[in-house]
Amino acid sequence: MSNIKLFESKQVRSHWDEKEEQWYFSIIDVVEILTNSSNPRDYWFKMKIRVKTDDGFELSTICRQFKLKATDGKMRETDLANTQTLLRIIQSIPSPKAEPFKQWLAKVGYERMQEISDPGQSIDRARENWQKIGRSEKWIQQRMTGQETRNKLTDYWKESGVEKPDEFALLTNIIHQEWTGLTVKKHKDLKGLKTQNLCDHMSEAELIFTALAELSTRQIAETEESQGLLENAKAGKKGGKIAKDTRLKLEELTGKKIVTDENFLPPSKEKSKLK
């Protein structure tokens, strides 16, 4: 199940509340989609003031805050709303996209109910989303294999006492920096990414080496029975080094870099003009 939803190819960060069994969506992302505002955070701030002045209603009281990954790659508190609250907010935003977005919300909710009864549907939908944005079948298969490897690693972390999102991010960064020589942020910077998921813009080779690093980390952690953040961090460095040594050997034999600036971003307007 992805926590990044797509509306007309635009990302909407989301959070699934297991206890309440409902989605919460990033209000800032929705505002940006509906208004095309260059500063959706400011639009949302002014909108709350306007609604309170006009209707005497405080929108913040029906919103919740969760930590989601921001444009700088860090987990930051942001306003989220469930479907009911989001529909209330959309009423206060004049936009031709309002009705299509309401239909999209209903579809997301329905699909989640289907996924609960049949988890395989979430995998099928992920494949469909990647197909829609032009990924090859070979790339999609590798991406999904890598995600399965990642899930097994994070499951181990949870079982061994690593629970906080910040700790997950720290361990991920240790593994990534060990095998690539770059932090996750610097790798994203190299590819020109901001809010985009790094793995969604990796080459097939980068995906394979990421999976190798994470698979090695899990198997080492299981063998050593690593517990807690510190012991899993040590396992992460060892697992990352296995992928690093393999990467260096392959680069020596082929003369080609594994970690590159290649991405799947649409060409910028400036680059298009130069062509």
> What average pLDDT score do residues 33-54 get?
87
What is the rounded distance in angstroms from the CA atom of residue 165 to the CA atom of residue 18? Answer: 16
Which of 106, 125, 144 delimits the end of a domain?
125
Mean of pLDDT over the chain: 83
pLDDT digits 0-9 by tens, 248-260: 999 999 999 999 9
**Burial label, 184 (beta-carbon count in 10 A; 0-12, 13-18, 19+):** middle
Instruction: Indicate whether 97 and 10 sit together in one domain.
Output: yes
Asked if residue 275 is part of any domain, the answer here is no
Asked if residue 261 is part of any domain, the answer here is no
Which of 125, 156, 173 delimits the end of a domain?
125
Asked if residue 267 is part of any domain, the answer here is no
Instruction: Indicate whether 149 and 244 sit together in one domain.
Output: yes
Asked if residue 117 is part of any domain, the answer here is yes
Instruction: Indicate whether 8 and 115 sit together in one domain.
Output: yes
Are the beta carbons of 66 and 78 closer than 8 angstroms? yes
In this prediction the pTM is 0.58
Asked if residue 271 is part of any domain, the answer here is no
Instruction: Indicate whether 121 and 159 sit together in one domain.
Output: no
Asked if residue 160 is part of any domain, the answer here is yes
pLDDT digits 0-9 by tens, 163-207: 887 899 999 999 999 999 999 999 999 999 887 889 989 999 999
Instruction: Indicate whether 194 and 215 sit together in one domain.
Output: yes
Which of 125, 150, 175 delimits the end of a domain?
125
pLDDT-above-70 percentage for the chain: 85
Instruction: Pick the range with the lowest mean pLDDT from 72-81, 175-184, 234-243.
Output: 72-81
Q: Report pLDDT for 101.
A: 81
- Confidence label for 120 from pLDDT (cuts 50, 70 and 90): very low
Helices (H) and strands (E) in the chain, counts: 11, 5
Asked if residue 130 is part of any domain, the answer here is no
C-alpha separations of 196 from 30, 42, 111, 271 in Å:
16, 22, 23, 20
Task: For residue 82, give every residue at least 6 positions away whose Cβ sits within 8 Å of its Cβ, in sequence order, or none.
Answer: 20, 22, 23, 24, 25, 64
pLDDT at position 275 over 90: no
Instruction: Indicate whether 247 and 140 sit together in one domain.
Output: yes
Q: Packing angle between helix 204-224 and helix 228-254, nearest 10 degrees?
A: 140
Instruction: Indicate whether 226 and 188 sit together in one domain.
Output: yes
Asked if residue 269 is part of any domain, the answer here is no
Instruction: Indicate whether 8 and 119 sit together in one domain.
Output: yes
Instruction: Indicate whether 116 and 217 sit together in one domain.
Output: no
Instruction: Indicate whether 117 and 159 sit together in one domain.
Output: no
pLDDT at position 228 over 50: yes
Instruction: Indicate whether 22 and 76 sit together in one domain.
Output: yes
Instruction: Indicate whether 106 and 161 sit together in one domain.
Output: no
Range of the domain at 70: 4-125
How many domains is the chain partitioned into structurally? 2
